[in-house]
Amino acid sequence: MLYVCPADQTILLLQRSQEVEQPGSWGIPGGAVHGTEGFHDSRRLRHETPPDVSRASAEREAFEELGTQVSIVETLGSSVYTKGGFRYVTYVVSVTPEEKARLEQSISLNWENDDWDWFSLAKLPRPLHFGVNYTLSQVNVGSLWKNKEL
């Protein structure tokens, strides 16, 4: 889940802990669809996860990593990264300024991440997780919020 706040044009990123792949990089909350963890067989891609299951898994993973439920205004877009037997779906979703403020008071990271913050697209931290780089290259987040009320 890539959370964006169109009102101030920021995105939520999490700094990955040393206990996960791509440690120290700035990513987003997410993970494997329940039951597919560690399964890297390209033949499996013929049987894609239904969108509602994928979305529910993304929301569950975000809750686990953030320690709080996020109230989403709408889905602005999505991207799908596929390599071998790995398939990574990212949903770009918007939150209100009020929800952003609530999150800032209630986020309690689990062991997968060490830090978090909201960033403008012009001042993204480095290094970015490959999944964030890919999503930003596929979904023009900046254009998505141009039509939103600021």
Tell me the per-residue pLDDT of 26-76, one tens digit each, with 9 for 90 and over: 999 987 665 544 444 444 444 466 666 788 888 999 999 999 999 999 999
Assign 149 a pLDDT band (cuts: 50, 70, 90). Answer: very low
Which is it for strands 2-5 and 86-94: parallel, antiparallel or unpaired?
A: parallel
Give the model's pLDDT for residue 71. 93
Show me where the domains of the chain are located. 2-144
Give the model's pLDDT for residue 55. 85
The architecture of the domain spanning 2-144 is: Alpha-Beta Complex (3.90)
Amino acid at 43: R
Query: What integer best gives the mean pLDDT of the chain?
Result: 86
**Tell me: the pLDDT tens digits for 64-107?**
999 999 999 999 999 999 888 778 899 999 999 999 999 999 99
Give the model's pLDDT for residue 132. 95
Q: Please state the rounded mean pLDDT for residues 111-136.
A: 96
For 95-133, give one letter per residue: b (16+ CB within 10 A) or e.
beeebbeebeeebebeebbeebebeeeeeeeeebbebbe
Handedness of CA 64, 65, 69, 73 (dihedral sign): negative
